[in-house]
Structure 1
Amino acid sequence: MPPIRYRVQANGPLRGTAVIQGAKNAALPMIGAALLASSGQTVLRNVPTITDVANAVELARAVGAHVEHHPADRLLIIDASTVTSPLLPGDLTRRFRGSVLFLSSLLYRCGEVIYEGAGGCNLGTRGLDWHYRGLVRLGARIEEKAGTIHITLGATAAADLYLDTPSHTGTENLMIAAATTPGRTVIENAALEPEVVDVARFLTAMGAHIDGAGTGRITVEGVDQLHATDYTVMPDRIDAGVLCMAAGITGGTVQLVGGDVLDAFGVARHKLEQMGVTLRPEGAVTTASRLGDLHPINIITDTHPGFATDLQPPLMALATQASGTSYIRERIHDARYALASELTKLGASIVIEGERATVIGATELRGDTVTAHDLRTGVSLILAGLVAHGETVIENGRMIERGHADLVARLRALGAHISREELPDTTRP
């Protein structure tokens, strides 16, 4: 695919209405879980038009599923009755980390799965051991050779499982696996994220018996088989959070349409309001606005309902415009500060000491050429570009499109000066 570049220029406060996309972190496990249905067609609605979803669709097709993707309608139709291949090929799995969410379904459908490795953003130590250990506890056998994981289905039986850290992908994968494992499986220290709850509801709509989603202890009573269903993906709280911060950093007012997302924000809602960003829910519309100055803030990232690590980079961009010193402590991903050096190129004053970042504001940002090292860094640089003098050019823009759909069109509708360019692909002869 040709490289993508974004260009952003400040154009005053953003004003208008923006639609929140469907949740990436719910849609991806649902696509994987849909492969459990050996008959019928699963319909997924409000699916975000992002590259991670496109990659998941391609991966589902690679193992034999028939998938109709209607991006304009945000719709997927998945017929998994034709799934035959246990191979998750590396040229697809290394494009996105969500490929790990296909393991449990293929193991159930094919009796084995061959996994050639996960990709996605480089965020330090994001091990997958708890996925594998949990599957072993449920009766799987695992062999690793030259970077390839071969998992075979042994004598399956329910088990008491414990996650060392409340990983949302780990929790989702184990719920998917336990849904068709005979007996009563208990997942302790389960993730509390709203997307985990949404995936549990989706599995329940397929016929699974799951209790406790949204708490630290989830109980799954295994059933013989699951069936196809029709389900609407929840709104994306990270996408909504970024749009709220876009209103905040520009001093504008944005109406977010697509569902009440404030409860899903957790601590982030309160931190944004402490900074001076007003959030007002009215049914399915949330209004985000900022009239006065931005105030400095202290945050510590944590699992839900703590401050989401995915919202930490955009908050760092927001903090550069706050009148005073903000302190950020990143406790989830040890490589989440890639944004700091790029913001510094724009004139920000940021000091990194281990897991702590100190952001000294308010600073006058100046446009420059910067790089989206990962998804969240990229969208945060767009926020910075909305207030920087001159033009901000963001290279490696495809990273942004892994998690945000139609961002240029949505921001333009709010009055932003932003464009997207496809560059010549110099890797081809």
Structure 2
Amino acid sequence: MMTEVRFHVRGGTALRGTAVIQGAKNAALPMIAAALLATEGRTVLRNVPAIADVARAVELARLVGATVEYHAGDRLLIIDASAVANPLLPAELTRRFRGSVLFLSPVLHRCGEVTYEGAGGCNLGTRGLDFHYRGLARLGAHIEERGSAIWIKAGQLRGSELYLDTPSHTGTESLIIAATLTPGRTVIENVALEPEVLDVIAFLNAMGARITGGGTGRVVIDGVDQLRAVEHTIMPDRIDAGVLCMAAAITGGQVTLVGGDVIDHFGVAKHKLEQMGVHLASSGAVTTATRTGPLHPINIITDTHPGFATDLQPSLMALATQASGTSYLRERIHEARYALVSELAKMGADITVDGEKAVVRGPSTLSGTEVVARDLRTGISLVLAGLVADGETVVTNGSMIERGHSDLVSRFVALGAGISREELP
């Protein structure tokens, strides 16, 4: 039976206390996929976030033949990929999380072919799959569209010169993973600079890959014959950490984050939060976010790292509703990122959208009501808005939030938030 998840949020409390940052979602998913390349031994991943997308990745790894032990309480994942033999990535999973595309290359290498269902035929480009299969074609793979599926056969793979039109972190990780076991040298231009990409490169190099140039925009991969299982601790999730910092900021509180020095991973977001009046202090693996005075309005333009992360833009929009003045947010990465606007308007926010620019006039007195988490980032931003709204905010479609944030209720309750989770048939 399908269940609906709802979060009930009651505003009016300044959050104070300590929260543990979860492991990075955007590093965990490609590592789970890349672990399938090891033909012997057991890969051990630590600090794996207990989120829905990880659960789906585990399900997909098992489906293609891996033996996976997931100890959610210990944030520990053990993967034995020695028996991977099933080349089918079925639609019931590929349509449920975008990270499924990261399994294309590992399954191709292990099985000699891979079928990716649910791609949608002419919708390939809109699904953002084009750079994955074009890159594999440049490496020598044979690719066919079969209805709503893509069938890829390895053929004679050889290293090649590749590029990304835009520096997508998923595209970068996918092509790097593909090149690790491809004979010869592969050079990829215009790659993503996100810290999660560097963590994935470190993981692959520990497995025996030969990858250089991480963080420069130009990555060189010399193919190797095999990769080995290793143990690796996943870096902290900078988006999760950013949301917790904004939770402190929007409520006028102080939150101490434990789990890693994430400030350097924030990029431009660190400076923008400080301009708004949020004090960020770091001491080793501990970061403290404090707001004591009024929030100032801000201008941001989302961009690839180290620019302002598009994943933090909706949360900043919620924060900007409480700033004294007019803020301008320009979205350059995802055209659908303004799904939050209509939901915040239900709560009383004053926001208008003109093309790629959103204008937020604050401060607004928000009122609790029923709103919809249209996607992961919209959902967590509505939780933030609910923390300062009068009365109760009910965030429906809450399973979207659980795709990317673990232990939401327990972590926020520990900070003093009034939040609960409800499941309905």
- Residue pairs, 1:7-406, within 5 angstroms: 7-117=8-118, 125-406=126-407
Q: Quick one: distance in 2 between partners of 1:79 and 1:221?
A: 25
| Distance in 2 between residues matched to 1:162 and 1:283, nearest whole Å | 36
Please give the secondary structure, in 1, of the residue aligned with 2:23. Answer: coil
Task: Give the Å deviation of 1:215.
Answer: 1.5
CA–CA separation in structure 1 for the residues paired with 2:205 and 2:153: 26
What is the RMSD computed on CA atoms of the aligned residues?
1.2
Contact 1:185-1:219 at 8 Å conserved across structures: yes
Q: Report the AA paired with residue 131 of structure 1.
A: H
- The amino acid of 1:200's aligned partner reads I
Cα deviations across residues 350-399 of structure 1 (Å, max 9, x unaligned)?
00111110000000000000000000000000000000000000000000
CA contact (8 A) 2:12 2:389 kept: no
- SS of the aligned residue for 1:293 comes to coil
Give TM-score scaled by structure 2 length: 0.98
Aligned with 1:313: secondary structure?
helix
Distance (Å, rounded) in 1 between the aligned partners of 2:50 and 2:118: 24
Whether contact under 8 Å (1:262, 1:281) holds in the other structure is yes
1:2-40 Cα offsets, whole Å, 9 max, x none, are 110000001321000000000000000000000000110
* 1:427 alignment counterpart: none
CA distance in 1, matches of 2:265, 2:185: 29
Mapped to 1, the partners of 2:43 and 2:119 lie a distance apart of 25
Does the CA-based 8 Å contact 1:300-1:328 persist in structure 2?
yes
Maintained 8 Å contact 1:10/1:417: yes
* Equivalent-residue separation in structure 2 for 1:146 and 1:342 (angstroms): 37
Deviation at 1:183, TM superposition (A): 1.0
User: 2:198 and 2:127 mapped to 1: Cα distance?
Assistant: 22
Partner SS for 1:238: helix
Is the alpha carbon distance of 1:36 and 1:146 closer, same or farther for their aligned partners in structure 2, counting shifts above 3 Å?
A: same
1:11·1:415 contact (CA, 8 Å) conserved in 2?
Answer: no
Unaligned 5+ segments in structure 1 are 425-429
What code does the residue aligned with 1:283 have?
A: G
CA distance, structure 2, for counterparts of residue 79 and residue 93 of structure 1? 22
Letter paired with 2:389 = A
Cα distance in 1 for partners of 2:215, 2:400 equals 30
SS in 1 for 2:337: coil
Q: CA–CA distance in 2 between the matches of 1:128 and 1:68?
A: 29
1:161 CA displacement: 0.5
Is 2:242–2:266's contact at 8 Å kept on the other side of the alignment? yes
CA distance, structure 2, for counterparts of residue 185 and residue 145 of structure 1: 28
Q: Is the 2:253–2:292 contact (alpha carbons within 8 Å) kept by the matching residues of 1? A: yes
Q: Which amino acid aligns with 1:213?
A: G
Distance 2:40 2:364 in 1: 58
CA distance in structure 2 between the aligned counterparts of 1:58 and 1:94, rounded to whole angstroms: 13
Letter of the structure 2 residue corresponding to residue 224 of structure 1: D
| Gaps in structure 2 of 5+ consecutive residues | none
CA offsets, 1:170-204, max 9 Å, x none?
11011101001111110000000111000000001
AA of the residue aligned to 1:209: R
Q: CA deviation at 1:128?
A: 1.3
Q: Deviations over 1:295-334 (max 9, x none)?
A: 0000000000000000000000000000000000000001
Q: Is the 8 A contact 1:143 1:149 kept in 2?
A: yes
Amino acid corresponding to residue 266 of structure 1 in structure 2: G
8 Å CA contact 1:125–1:334 kept in 2: the answer is no
Deviation at 1:117, TM superposition (A): 3.1
Equivalent residues of 1:320, 1:348 under 8 A apart: yes
| CA–CA separation in structure 2 for the residues paired with 1:96 and 1:12 | 34
Question: By how many angstroms is 1:104 displaced?
Answer: 0.5
Counterpart-to-counterpart distance in 2, 1:140 and 1:191:
23
Q: Which amino acid aligns with 1:66?
A: T
Structure 1 residue aligned with 2:4? 3
| Separation (CA, whole Å) in 1 of partners of 2:41 and 2:69 | 14
SS of equivalent residue, structure 1 residue 247: helix
Secondary structure of the residue aligned to 2:167 is coil
User: Alpha-carbon deviation of 1:125?
Assistant: 4.3
Q: Secondary structure at the match of 1:35?
A: helix
User: Aligned to 2:37, what secondary structure does the other structure show?
Assistant: coil
Q: Secondary structure of the equivalent of 2:422?
A: strand
Aligned 8 A contact 2:42 2:78 in 1: yes
Which whole-Å CA distance do the structure 2 matches of 1:253 and 1:407 have between them? 18
Residues 5 and 423 in structure 2, CA contact (< 8 A), matched pair in contact too: yes
Distance 1:11 1:395, change over 3 A: same
Go from structure 1 to structure 2 and tell me whether the alpha carbon gap of 1:234 and 1:118 turns closer, same or farther (over 3 Å shift). farther
1:93-145 residue CA offsets vs partner (Å, 9 max, x unmatched): 111000000001000000000001369xxxx9452111111101111011012
Structure 2 CA distance for aligned equivalents of residues 147 and 298 of structure 1:
42
Q: Distance in 2 between matches of 1:304 and 1:118?
A: 28
